[in-house]
Amino acid sequence: MASACAAATPDRQPAAQTVEPSDVELLDRDRSILAFNERVFDWAVRTDVPLLERLRYLCIVSSNLDEFFEVRAAPHITAAKNGETKGLYTEASFKALSAHAHDLVARQYALYNDSLVPAFAAHGIRIVAHGERLVVQKRWVHDYFMREVRPLLIPVGLDPAHPFPQVANKSLNFIVRLKGRDAFGRENEIAIVKIPRALPRLIRMPPKVAPKEALFVSLSSIVRAHLHDLFPGREVTEFSQFRVTRHSDLALDEEDVRNLRTALRQGLQHRHYGQAVRLEVSSGCSTFLSDFLLEQFELPGAALYRVNGPVNLVRLNQLVDLVNDPALLFPPWRSVWPLQMQPGVSILEQLRHRDIVMHQPFESFDGLLAFLREAVNDPQVLVIKQTIYRTGSDSELMDLLTEAVRRGKEVMAVVELKARFDEEANINWAEALESIGAQVVYGVVGLKTHAKMLLVTRREGRQLRRYGHLSTGNYNMRTARLYTDLSYLTADEETTADMDGVFNHLASQNRPPRLRRLLLAPFHLQRRMVEKIEQVGLAASRGEDARIVAKMNALTDEALIRALILAGQQGARIDLIVRGACMLPAQLPGVTDNIRVRSVIGRFLEHSRVFYFRSGGQEDLYLSSADWMNRNMLRRVELAWPVTDPVLRQQIVDECLVAYLYDDKDAWTLNADGTYERAPNPVTGKGAQNALMVRYSAMASAAQPDQETT
C-alpha cells in the first residue's frame, strides 16, 4: 500500500519556508463553489461527450446554480443592500460574486444557442419557436393551449385591490404591459401570469404535424403566442418571462419548538416565499419591466440576469427523456453484483467470516437491499436500526423497513428531518413508519444526523450477534446509480457495538459511549483527524516516511486546513482529491509546496470520503460520511471508521486514491490563486471512472460469467 500511494506523487520537497499557517490567506469558499460548476460546465462544452449528455451537464450546472443562490446568496444580497464595507459579506463581495455568476450564465446560454441547438437540429431535433411553426403546427399549438393550458391560467391585473402576487421560488411567470383600459375604465397597465408547475415545460408535436423531425414546443412559447388571448380588448405592448430565486435554507429555532416535525412541515409552506436573491428575465425584457420587478423583489441591479433563452435551463432536462436516443447518450452502465458477495449464500453467514466492501455505482446497490431483505425475512433477526438522511420518495429500502415492522421486529429509524430539499419526503416516511409502530427519532436538536448506518441484531443460540452497514453515501437507490460511494458491511464485534452505542446515544441523548473503532462528530472526529495530520507532520520533521492522501467532496474546515498546511511545511507529502469547494491554496510558493489538490469531474458524481495517513511505518485508512467542512465536524452527527483488513485497505487505496491521482482525463489541478487547470488529455487520457468500469466488468465476467447485472 505504501508503494502504491508513493508512486503517485513526486518525491517530497524540502520543508517550505516558515510561514505561520494562521497567516495564510485561504481561498474564497463561494468563488470555489462557482469554480466547481465551471468544471462541470466543461463537460457540456466537450464535443467528445454525447449530445444529450452535454445537455444534461448544462442542466446540472443550472440546477447547481439554483441551489447556490438558494443557500449561499442571501448574506451577499443583504450586505449589498445595506452598503456593508467590512466583514465576510460586503458590497464588494456581492459584486465580485455576481460578476463571476453572470459570466458563467452568459457562457451557458452561448453554448446552448451557438452549439447545442445547431447540433440537435443536425439530428432532426428542434424546439420550434412560434415564428418558425407551419400553419398546421400553429393550429395544433393553439388547440393544445385552449385544451391543456388556458383553463389553468389566471391573469392578474395589478391595482390597489390586486397587489403584486406572491411569486413562488423558481416558478415560471410572465409580466405583461398593457395598453388601453380594463372593463372598469381603468388604466392598470401591469399584469402577471403565473404558469402552473403541473404543466410540462416541453411538449412533443405529434407525427401528424411533424412527420420528419422530432419537434418540440416549450410551454413558455405557447403562452407567449397566446398572451393577447388572455387580455381581450387590451393591447399587449411589452412582456417577458421571469423567474425569481429565493433563499430556501430552512431556519428554525429548534430550542423553541415543541415538535420539530410539525414546525418543519409548517416551515416548508413558507420556503417558496423566502427572501428574493436572483431575478431572471428574457434578454429582450424592457428596462421598464425589469426595473419594476427589481423594485417588487427589493433586489439590486446586479441580481438581475437577462438570459437569451429559457429562464430555467434545468427544465430542458426533459428533452433527454423525451428524445432518449441511445446514440446520443453514454453507453449504458449496468452495475455488477457485488464481487465479494457469493450469490445464493447467506450474506449474514458470509459476514461471519469477513467484511465486505461494495464500490458503487460500479457494484450494485442491490447488494445492500439483499442484506436488508435477508434480515427482514430471517425470523431470528430481532432488531433493525437505521439512519435515514436521503432515501427518495419511492424507496424499496423503506418498504423493507415497513415489512420488518409487520413481521414483528423492533425497528428504529433515526430520520433527519432537516436533510436539505428532502424534508418533505423524510417527514412522510417518518409518519408512515410511526403509524405502523416503528420507533422513530429525529436525531439531536441543533445537529443534523448525516451518519449513514444500518444495524441488524440477530439471535444465534444463546447470544445476540450484530451485523452492520456503514456508508459514505445515502440510502437512495437512484443516486446509488449516479454517485461513487463505498458501502462497508461487517460483523466485527467492536464496530457493531460502537454502532449500537451511537444509535442509543441518538435515541436517549445521553453522553455518547466510549467508542473503540468509530469516530463520532461533533465530539471527536475533527480532533482525531487533526491529530492524525499532526502525527504525519511530526514523522516528516523526523525524516520519516510521511504521507497523506484524502478524498472528499469539500475542504472548508479551517482547523483541518491549517493542520494540513503545517504538516506540508514539515515535509509531509499531501495529495487531496476534492471534488467541489476547496479553500486551501495549494502549491503556494514557500508555503504549500508539498500540497497538491485535484478535482475529478466524471460521468458519475464523486461522493466517497477516504482518508489515508502514513507516518513512518504506521498506516491508517478511514472511510467517512463527513466532508472536511466545519458544519460536518461541529454541527452534524457524522461517522468515520477504520478499515483494518489489509486486502480491503489495498483495494480502497487502489480504486479510490491511486486511480484518481493518475487520472489524466477528467482531473483538474488547483492553482494557488484558486483557478484550476484541466487534465492534459481530456479526450485520449485515462480516466479513473472509465478504468473502474472496465475493471469491474472484467472481474464480473471472470468471476460470475452467468451472473446477471442490474
Q: What is the pLDDT of residue 423?
A: 59
Q: Give the per-residue pLDDT at 424.
A: 64
450 catalytic per annotation: yes
How does 181-218 read in b/e, with b if 16+ C-beta sit within 10 Å?
A: ebeeeeebbbbbbbbeeeeebbbebeeebbeeebbbbb
- Give the per-residue pLDDT at 313: 94
pLDDT at 593: 95
Reduce the DSSP state of residue 159 to 3 states and report it.
strand
CA dihedral sign of residues 549, 554, 557, 558: positive
Does pTM surpass 0.85?
yes
Q: How far is CA 622 from CA 519, 529, 694, in A?
A: 10, 10, 26
Amino acid occupying residue 478:
R
Q: What is the DSSP letter of 655?
A: I
- pLDDT reported for residue 251: 47
pLDDT at position 249, please? 67
- Give per-10-residue mean pLDDT for the chain (710 aa): 52 61 93 97 96 97 95 93 91 94 98 97 95 95 96 87 85 93 74 93 95 94 95 92 86 42 47 85 96 96 96 94 94 95 95 97 96 97 90 76 93 74 64 80 78 96 96 90 96 97 90 93 96 98 97 97 97 98 96 97 96 96 97 94 96 97 96 93 88 94 58
Catalytic residue among 450, 469, 505, 607, which?
450
Q: Please report the domains of the chain, with CATH numbers, ordered by start residue.
A: 2-29+521-703 (3.30.870.10), 51-328 (3.30.1840.10), 347-511 (3.30.870.10)
For residue 253, the tally of other CB atoms under 10 A from its CB is 8
Pick from 210, 177, 173, 170: which is nearest to 191 by CA? 177
Task: Copy the grid coordinates of residue 577.
Answer: 482529491
Residue 369 host element (H or E): helix 366-377
Q: Is 649 helix (H, G, I), strand (E, B) or coil?
A: helix
Q: How many CA atoms lie within 13 A of 348 on its CB side?
A: 18
Helix (H) or strand (E) holding 680: none
Beta strands in 572-686 (DSSP E): 573-578, 595-600, 605-606, 610-615, 618-624, 636-642, 667-670, 676-678
DSSP state of 271: H
What grid cell was written down for 653?
487505496
Would you list the DSSP string of 235-261? EEEEEEEEEEEE-------GGG-S-HH
Question: Element (H or E) spanning 427, and its range?
Answer: helix 423-435
Beta-carbon count within 10 A of 354 CB: 13
Rounded CA separation 174/164 (Å): 13
Q: Is residue 281 within 8 Å of 307, Cβ to Cβ?
A: yes
Q: What are the grid coordinates assigned to 190, written together? A: 401591469
- Nearest 5°: the CA angle 245, 247, 250 is 140
Q: Report the amino acid identity of residue 37.
A: N
- Count Cβ atoms below 10 Å from residue 435 Cβ, excluding itself: 11
Give the whole-angstrom CA distance, residue 66 versus residue 61. Answer: 9
Angle between helices 74-82 and 91-111 (to 10 degrees): 130
Query: So what's the pLDDT on residue 419?
Result: 45
Report the DSSP pairing between strands 214-218 and 125-127: parallel
The Cα–Cα gap between 87 and 517 comes to 41
